[in-house]
Amino acid sequence: MAVKRKSLVLDASAFIAGFDPLALKEEAYSVPEVEVELLDGSMPKIRFEASLNSGRLKVIKPENRYIDLAESISSEVGDISFLSKADLAILALALQLKDMGLKPVIATDDYSIQNVAEKMGIKYMPLSNLGIRYQLNWLLYCPACGKKYPPNEKLTICKNCGTELKRKPERRRPIKRKHANKVGSKKGESQET
Residues 10 and 83 both lie in one domain: yes
pLDDT at 98 over 50: yes
Residues 122 and 141 both lie in one domain: no
Residues 185 and 154 both lie in one domain: no
Mean pLDDT of all residues in the chain?
A: 83
Residues 157 and 64 both lie in one domain: no
pLDDT tier for residue 187 given thresholds of 50, 70 and 90: very low
pTM over 0.75: no
Residue 94 belongs to some domain of the structure: yes
Q: Which of 133, 160, 125 is nearest to 144 (CA)?
A: 160
**pLDDT for 169:** 72
Helices (H), the chain: 12-16, 32-37, 43-54, 64-77, 85-99, 111-120
Expressed as residue numbers, the domain containing 106 is: 6-131+178-192
Strand order in the sheet with 123-125: 57-59, 27-30, 6-10, 103-107, 123-125
How many domains, in total, are found in the chain? Answer: 2
**pLDDT for 47:** 92
Residue 1 belongs to some domain of the structure: no
pLDDT at 33 over 50: yes
